[in-house]
């Protein structure tokens, strides 16, 4: 699928399988940090990916509430459709 990306802050086999079957680019963001440093590093990495890829559709993984809120907050600036899996 063109201009569709999936961002995950965890490694998850189900997400990998879905992306592989549908041809969606998967961006797994993993941090070695914990707490606020984890959220800051993953947030920055996510923003860089969205800025570089400029997706028309962004899919994020739930239950990462922080990732979902970040994707929702960025939506007006990047004009993508947001789906939360």
Residue 81 φ then ψ, to 5°: -85, 140
* Residue owning tokens 């947001």: 82
Instruction: Kindly report the pTM of this predicted structure.
Output: 0.94
Q: Are 58 and 81 in contact (CB under 8 A)?
A: yes
- Asked if the model's pLDDT at residue 2 lies above 90, the reply is no
- Asked if the model's pLDDT at residue 68 lies above 80, the reply is yes
């Amino acid at each position: 699928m063109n201009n569709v990306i999936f961002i995950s802050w965890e490694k998850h086999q189900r997400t990998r399988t879905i992306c592989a079957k549908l041809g969606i680019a998967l961006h797994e963001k993993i941090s070695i940090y914990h707490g606020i440093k984890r959220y800051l590093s993953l947030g920055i990495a996510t923003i860089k990916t969205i800025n570089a890829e400029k997706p028309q559709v962004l899919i994020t993984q739930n239950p990462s509430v922080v990732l979902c809120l970040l994707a929702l907050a960025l939506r007006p600036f990047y004009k993508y459709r947001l789906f939360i899996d």
